[in-house]
Amino acid sequence: MQKIKEKANRCEMCTKPGCIVGCPLDNDIKGFIKSVKEENYKEAYNILSKTTVLESVCGRVCPHEKQCQGACLREIKKSPVKIGALEAFVGDLAIKNNWKIRGKTNSAYHVAVVGGGPAGLTCAAFLKKNGINVTIYEKHDHLGGLLYHGIPSFRLPRDITEKTIKKIIDLGIEVKYNEVLGKTITLKQLERKYDAVFISIGANMPNKMKIPGEKLKGVYGGNAFLENKTELDCQDKTIIVLGGGNVSIDVARTVKRKGAKNVIIVYRKEEAELTADLDEVMAAKKDGVKFIFKNNIIKILGKNKVKGVELIKTRYKKVDGKELLENVRGSRHKMDCDYVISAIGSHANRRTMNSLNLELTKNGKIKIDKKGHTSKKKVFAGGDAAGSIGTVAWAARAGRNAAYEIIEYLKKKEGNKNV
């Protein structure tokens, strides 16, 4: 507790707190830290609960340096208030003491939420808090989405995810597991059965590398690898991971923990251009992950299974005043390896998206307006499936704001059943 108070006491209670502006969820950071300073922890939790239900999760995995902490007054001296740690502390205390999320009595309305990741869970929680009955339809036999089958447990402990989800479901939310939109259930069926539908099915299909050898045994997509917990024998293997984002770092650190001898991340640009968070890059290096920068994989070698990769060096060339990356002629070289895991981005499941008969963006995501409305009147969408910025907090924000919009929609419906 002493350490937490010390952290809280570093907050200067700014008149115009940048941290709140930096938080995708608009959490009242100044307000909750003030309560922590006063040792009124339950009040701190109540303040956070107004805007979020993922305190313990966001406190751990948000890219704080790009969000709240990046906008902290103390960031000027490179020592921001540790807002993430304080939020996680309050969230954990709420779990430990079984502090409930406050809710209103039930109305006669019932909404279906499809997909139980951060967007769906948050939407369901804010609907239920406001008295709307909710049923979540989830493809897997567990909730959490990428909190569970994306972010590795060494960064987000499973029990924290599970207890956070339990607290939300305990509000009285019904869950139907192993239900796949577009397969076991259609959007039309949901539209008929419910007063409104919120779709938050994520976008976790790995992008293809589009190079020869991609279909060989031993080539995996990073997102699918983490989601399906592919039982890969990594013991003493050499594994090449392609990509410079957080997913490639998570994959590399995961296979390292599974016993891989050499784990090498290949990135086509320079180290300074990695899109992964700096902390994560440092942690990967500490784990023994190696990096090869300014190289591209142009071919995966092997007959039936992976034997190695062919790489080519890259460099920047100025064309019409713009710096463009190009392959360097005559710089091809080979490397042996046992597996190749690509982590070069992800997309939504095209078949599912096309089955919905909703207007889509040119990237194949669900087209929504600023308030989460899709092209169908009673259907709303949010999170990665609808092109949110790909973080937990932005997905949660989309879910929460859509919940408020659904409530407005229900209020305006003919024969209002009292929201």
Q: Are 417 and 209 in contact (CB under 8 A)?
A: no
Q: How far is the CB of 259 from ligand FAD (least distance, A)?
A: 20
In whole angstroms, give the CA distance from residue 334 to residue 245.
23
Contact map string, positions 305 to 344, toward ligand FAD, x by CB under 6 A: ----------------------------------------
Residue 361: how many other CB atoms lie within 10 Å: 13
Distance from the first to the final alpha carbon of the chain: 41
In the complex, the smallest distance separating the C-beta of residue 8 from ligand FAD, rounded to whole angstroms, is 23
302 lies in the site for ligand FAD, by CB under 6 A: no
Among 352, 372, 374, 406, binds ligand FAD (CB under 6 A): 352
What does the CA dihedral 296, 297, 299, 301 come to, rounded to 10 degrees?
A: 140
Rounded to the nearest angstrom, the gap between the alpha carbon of residue 5 and the centroid of all alpha carbons in its chain is 30
User: Which of 72/276 has CB closer to ligand FAD?
Assistant: 276
For residues 302 and 308, what is the distance between their CA atoms, to the nearest angstrom?
7
Q: By C-beta, is 219 or 402 nearer to ligand FAD?
A: 402
Options 118, 218, 308, 387; binder of ligand FAD; rule CB under 6 A: 118
What is the Cα–Cα distance from 264 to 94, expressed in whole angstroms? 40
For the bound state, the minimum distance from the C-beta of residue 147 to ligand FAD, rounded and expressed in Å, comes to 6
Question: Which DSSP state fits 185?
Answer: B
Taking CB under 6 A as the criterion, the residue among 33, 112, 151, 379 binding ligand FAD is: 151
- Given candidates 22, 91, 145, 308, which one binds ligand FAD under the rule CB under 6 A? 145
Query: Among 3-11, 14-22, 142-150, 318-326, which window interacts with ligand FAD (CB under 6 A)?
Result: 142-150
Q: Please identify, using beta-carbon distances, which residue of 57 and 132 lies nearer to ligand FAD.
A: 57
* Stretch of 33-41, 102-110, 138-146, 316-324 contacting ligand FAD, by CB under 6 A: 138-146
Q: What distance in Å separates the CA atoms of residue 301 and residue 216, rounded to the nearest whole number?
A: 9
Q: Which of 84, 115, 206, 302 binds ligand FAD (CB under 6 A)?
A: 115
- When the beta carbons of 13 and 389 are compared against ligand FAD, the nearer one is 389
Do residues 10 and 35 touch, judged by C-beta distance below 8 A? no
Q: How far is the CB of 121 from ligand FAD (least distance, A)?
A: 7
Question: Cβ atoms within 10 A of the Cβ of 173, count?
Answer: 20
- Given the complex with ligand FAD, which of 79 and 275 has the nearer CB atom? 275
Backbone φ and ψ of 407, nearest 5° = -60, -45
Which of these, 36, 7, 50, 368, lies nearest to 197 by C-alpha position?
368
Q: Is the CB of 119 or the CB of 125 nearer to ligand FAD?
A: 119
Q: Tell which positions 58-77 bind ligand FAD, by CB under 6 A.
A: 61-62
Task: Give the Cα separation of 401 and 139 in Å (integer).
Answer: 23
Minimum CB distance to ligand FAD, residue 378 (Å): 18
Q: What angle do CA 69, 283, 74 make, to 5 degrees?
A: 20
Burial 285-323 (b: 16+ CB within 10 A, else e): eeeebebebbbbbebbbbeeebbbbbbbbbeeeeeeeee
At 393, is the secondary structure helix, strand, or coil? helix
Stretch that binds ligand FAD, among 97-105, 162-170, 299-307, 385-393 (CB under 6 A): 385-393
Burial of 77 (0-12, 13-18, 19+ CB in 10 A): exposed
Which of residues 384, 397, 406, 407 is near ligand FAD by CB under 6 A?
Answer: 384
Site for ligand FAD in 173-232 (CB under 6 A): 179-182, 200-202, 204, 223, 226
Give the residue with the Cβ less far from ligand FAD, 169 or 247: 247
Binding site for ligand FAD (CB under 6 A): 61-62, 114-120, 137-140, 145-146, 150-151, 179-182, 200-202, 204, 223, 226, 246-247, 250, 352, 383-385, 390-393, 395
